[in-house]
């Protein structure tokens, strides 16, 4: 009886903790300083946080772009994904999501499927260069989450993308 | 000591369900029964009018009552309710674009006795070719009896009559049923007003839209939100019996199809698979649900029993096979596939055999929906802009019905004569519901409380 209570409470508190961690706001990186910090003063973004990932690989390397209705990974995308893979090889405990997106010039259902295809194309390339598939989650947002808001070719090109986001 | 332990365990068991339901608002009460009653034999003469229906004047004065009494349907009583009934019928017939109705606010009020014996001289000099009369009576059980009569002015003759007993909350259904018999008698088409629409209500900026599952009557009344908007909801479809809604929700972070039970307010996943599922559709008999599932980026169409169980895969080509709409007899399915390199429309037998391409008219073709009459397939034609088009089930006779920048996802009125779709505005991304009839005329916007997309028109209410 007592064990059951204890296990129940433990599990409940673990769930609560997990929930807390997920919702905790990301820490902002400290402003750069001229003098190198003395030895082990652990500051800056936590390993595995999105900020840490962006700082390490560069914002431009976290997103690959696609042509209309296409989902192929071209040479430029490969270079970006290789940079991402370096990071994920270095921090082998980090898991992440590849989000697939489309521009607004597609029908809703088809775009959901196309976004999934794009996310998987990026994932498959990462797996082919050695990142274990079980560290990569994919999700499609179809045309639901544009980053560029215009209705023109430049905006649509920005929205046809697969964005890598760490699960921190 | 026993109590807290049970409490903790109960919480733990309940949590996955709670997560699944955390986007649902208050359950919506199910509608009541509407009973058709015998109004006796009406004469059924031939309509005297032989011009264009859109020139047809119809006078619709207030419905009379035998005794003006309070009713839960209208705090002012049955006389005021009688006027409201006539207003709803007038709006139905006017918005349809086919007739020129005149409502109760511009007409004298007939007495109860005149409903079955019109005072012809009063109406004959008002330029109307048709006259609608009706009555409403409060019953001792709180329900209402509503009678509806259509008269031909030139012949001074009754064309059709019908009556219904409705719960007070469903009084508008009696008005829609009256509009339906008038429409059907004058056009020869099947009714469609007494039906509902499920859709997605949209608010917020283009890069952070809130999308909620919502339902309403065919005229926009009785509007209700089903989800709270915490998670994105998309692409709903009413079950043919109106007891359930199937739709896509991101409530667990992934796009997945849920079946929402309107009476109980509970919902279940259509597939326990962790793969994303999209584009749900009912079979006309309500026994099956079609959905699409992506596995490793490859999307195929599956069929599952509406009561659950194993899914059967119907397509297996590389690429995106998605959507799907049954022929009215349930024997065939039209669907969308990019197996040829771009989105095109295909047809197959209901068991997945005999797949072949239907659309060969240039551009892309998406979101096919088989008309409930069986004679047309509506779809989104993408040729530069996006427009609603129809074709015969053999792929011929393609006709474009709209001329928008992005008109998408047509859904049929229950009688297969009118299409509803959503229109997205360039740049702002604002959306709204529109409808157009098969002639491509009578295009109009359906008013909704906020922006709206993904409409799904249900059949005539049971």
Grouping H, G, I as helix, E, B as strand and the rest as coil, residue A76 is: helix
pLDDT digits (tens, 9 = 90+) for B67-118: 999 999 999 999 999 999 999 999 999 998 889 999 999 999 999 999 999 9
pLDDT digits (tens, 9 = 90+) for B181-216: 999 999 999 999 999 999 999 999 999 999 999 999
How many Å apart are CA A64 and CA A72, to the nearest integer?
10
Backbone angles phi, psi at B7, to 5 degrees: -60, -45
A-chain CB neighbours of B453 within 8 Å are 108
CB contact burial B429-462 (16+ within 10 A = b; e otherwise): bebbbbbbbbebeebeebebebbbbbbbbbbbbe
Q: DSSP labels for B194-219? A: SEEEEEEEEES-TTS-EEEEEEEETT
Domains of chain B in start order, with CATH, are 35-187 (3.40.50.10070), 195-460 (2.120.10.30)
**What residues of chain A have any CB closer than 8 angstroms to a CB in chain B?**
1, 4-5, 8-9, 11-12, 15, 69, 71, 104-105, 107-110, 112-114, 116-117, 119-121, 124, 138-140, 142, 144-147, 149-151
Question: What percentage of chain B reaches a pLDDT higher than 90?
Answer: 84
Residue B194 contacts residue B164 (beta carbons within 8 Å): no
Residue B106 contacts residue B115 (beta carbons within 8 Å): no
Q: What is the ipTM of this complex?
A: 0.91
pLDDT at B449 over 70: yes
Cα angle at B326 between A143 and A110, to 5 degrees? 15
Question: What percentage of chain A reaches a pLDDT higher than 70?
Answer: 75
How many Å apart are CA B208 and CA B233, to the nearest integer?
13
pLDDT at B291 over 60: yes
Residue A91 contacts residue A132 (beta carbons within 8 Å): no
Residue B332 contacts residue B348 (beta carbons within 8 Å): yes
| Nearest by Cα to B60 from B90, B37, B15 | B90
Strand residue runs (E) in A29-105 = 63-65, 96-101
Can you say whether the dihedral through the CA atoms of B307, B309, B314, B316 is positive or negative? positive
| Mean pLDDT computed over A87-107 | 97
Residue B62 contacts residue B104 (beta carbons within 8 Å): yes
pLDDT at B264 over 50: yes
Query: Which of B252, B320, B455 is the best substitution to test chain A (most A C-beta atoms within 10 A)?
Result: B320
Provide the mean pLDDT of chain B.
92
pLDDT digits (tens, 9 = 90+) for A35-72: 544 455 567 899 999 999 999 999 999 999 999 999 99
How many Å lie between the alpha carbon of A48 and the closest alpha carbon of chain B?
20
Sheet holding B195-203, edge to edge: B224-225, B210-217, B195-203, B451-460
Domains of chain A in start order, with CATH, are 46-166 (3.30.1330.60)
pLDDT at B146: 97
Q: Which of B12, B320, B409 lies nearest to residue A108, judging by beta carbons?
A: B409
pLDDT digits (tens, 9 = 90+) for B108-157: 999 999 999 999 999 988 889 999 999 999 999 999 999 999 999 999 99
Q: What is the DSSP letter of B416?
A: S
pLDDT at A43: 75
How many Å apart are CA A156 and CA A141, to the nearest integer?
15
């Amino acid at each position: 009886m007592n064990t059951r209570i204890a296990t129940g409470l433990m599990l409940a508190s673990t769930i609560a903790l997990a929930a807390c961690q997920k919702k905790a706001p990301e820490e902002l990186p400290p402003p750069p300083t001229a003098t190198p910090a003395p030895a082990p003063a652990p500051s800056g973004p936590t390993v595995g946080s999105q900020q840490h990932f962006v700082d390490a690989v560069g914002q431009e390397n976290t997103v690959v772009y696609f042509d209309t209705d296409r989902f192929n990974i071209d040479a430029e995308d490969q270079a970006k994904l290789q940079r991402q893979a370096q990071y994920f090889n270095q921090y082998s405990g980090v898991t992440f999501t590849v989000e697939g997106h489309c521009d607004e010039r597609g029908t809703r259902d088809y775009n959901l499927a196309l976004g999934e295809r794009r996310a998987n194309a990026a994932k498959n390339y990462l797996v082919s260069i050695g990142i274990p598939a079980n560290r990569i989650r994919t999700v499609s947002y179809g045309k639901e989450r544009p980053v560029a808001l215009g209705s023109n070719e430049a905006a649509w090109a920005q929205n046809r993308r697969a964005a890598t986001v760490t699960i921190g | 000591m026993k109590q807290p332990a049970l409490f903790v365990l109960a919480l733990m068991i309940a949590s996955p369900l709670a997560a699944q339901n955390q986007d649902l608002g208050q359950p919506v009460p199910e509608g009541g029964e509407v009973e058709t009653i015998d109004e006796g034999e009406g004469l059924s003469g031939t309509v005297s009018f032989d011009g264009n229906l859109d020139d047809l004047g119809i006078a619709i004065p207030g419905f009379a009552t035998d005794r003006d009494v309070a009713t839960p349907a209208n705090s002012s009583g049955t006389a005021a309710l009688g006027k409201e009934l006539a207003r709803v019928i007038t709006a139905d017939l006017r918005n349809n674009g086919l007739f020129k109705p005149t409502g109760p606010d511009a007409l004298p009020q007939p007495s109860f006795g005149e409903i079955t014996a019109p005072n012809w001289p009063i109406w004959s000099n008002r330029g109307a070719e048709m006259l609608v009369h009706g009555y409403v009576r409060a019953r001792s059980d709180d329900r209402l009896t509503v009678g509806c009569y259509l008269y031909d002015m030139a012949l001074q003759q009754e064309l059709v009559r019908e009556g219904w007993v409705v719960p007070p909350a469903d009084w508008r259904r009696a008005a829609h049923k009256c509009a339906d018999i008038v429409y059907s008698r004058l056009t020869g088409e099947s009714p469609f007003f007494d039906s509902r629409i499920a859709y997605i209500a949209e608010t917020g900026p283009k890069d952070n839209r809130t999308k909620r599952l919502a339902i309403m009557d065919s005229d926009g009344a009785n509007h209700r939100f089903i989800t709270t908007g915490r998670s994105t909801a998309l692409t709903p479809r009413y079950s043919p019996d109106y007891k359930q809604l199937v739709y896509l929700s991101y409530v667990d972070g992934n796009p997945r199809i849920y079946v929402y039970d309107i009476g109980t307010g509970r919902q279940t996943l259509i597939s326990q698979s962790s793969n994303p599922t999209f584009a749900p559709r009912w079979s006309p008999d309500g026994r099956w649900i079609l959905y699409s599932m992506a596995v490793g980026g490859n999307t195929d169409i599956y069929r599952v029993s509406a009561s659950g169980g194993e899914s059967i895969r119907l397509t297996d080509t590389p690429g995106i096979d998605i959507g799907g709409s049954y022929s009215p007899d349930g024997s065939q399915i039209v669907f969308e596939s990019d197996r040829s390199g771009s989105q095109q429309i295909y047809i197959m037998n209901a068991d997945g055999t005999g797949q072949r391409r239907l659309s060969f008219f240039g551009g892309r073709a998406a979101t096919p929906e088989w008309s409930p009459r069986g004679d047309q397939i509506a779809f989104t034609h993408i040729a530069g802009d996006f427009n609603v088009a129809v074709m015969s089930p053999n792929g011929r006779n393609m006709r474009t019905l709209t001329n928008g920048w992005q008109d998408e996802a047509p859904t049929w009125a229950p009688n297969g004569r009118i299409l509803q779709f959503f229109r997205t505005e360039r740049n702002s991304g604002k959306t709204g519901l529109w409808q157009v009839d098969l002639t491509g005329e009578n295009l109009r916007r359906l008013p909704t409380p906020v922006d709206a997309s993904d409409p799904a028109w249900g059949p005539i209410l049971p």
